[in-house]
Amino acid sequence: MTKEVSSISELKAAMKSDANEIITRDGDLVKKLKAVKLAKSWGPAAVGGIIASVPLVITTGPVGAGAVAAFAGVATSTIVTLIVAVGGTIAISLFSDWEYVEIGAGGIKMKRKKT
């Protein structure tokens, strides 16, 4: 099932649902998901470091942001904002359970990885 979302709250609901594809064309949300896509392209070590930092971001704010900065570089503020907005478990899922495909007209499609 494919769901189209246009806000963080809709993204969270779609990720918790049985959707296997999520599409967004919302500019702010696309920017955040592209930052995740970029971070995933840096390899497993970077993704592992970001995932390990998620609890720090949720509980300590700026200190956790520094931990993400060690791995996420220029995308740090965008990724930290997204982690805080969606919460820890869902943020980890963004990095581990979904693949990202850019689509025309400035959108992005997330596909749930097959297990």
For residue 9, tell me if it sits in a domain.
no
Indicate the DSSP class of residue 114.
P
pTM: 0.81
For residue 13, tell me if it sits in a domain.
no
Q: What does the alpha-carbon distance between residue 34 and residue 23 come to, in Å, rounded to a whole number? A: 12
Domain that residue 94 falls in:
19-112
State both tokens at 112. Answer: 């749930």
Mean pLDDT per block of 10 residues along the chain (115 residues) reads 95 94 94 88 83 78 67 68 85 92 90 86
For residue 2, tell me if it sits in a domain.
no
State the pLDDT at residue 104: 81
State the pLDDT at residue 72: 58
Structurally, the chain folds into a number of domains equal to 1
Q: What does the alpha-carbon distance between residue 31 and residue 18 come to, in Å, rounded to a whole number? A: 24
State the pLDDT at residue 73: 61
State the pLDDT at residue 1: 92
For residue 57, tell me if it sits in a domain.
yes
For residue 90, tell me if it sits in a domain.
yes
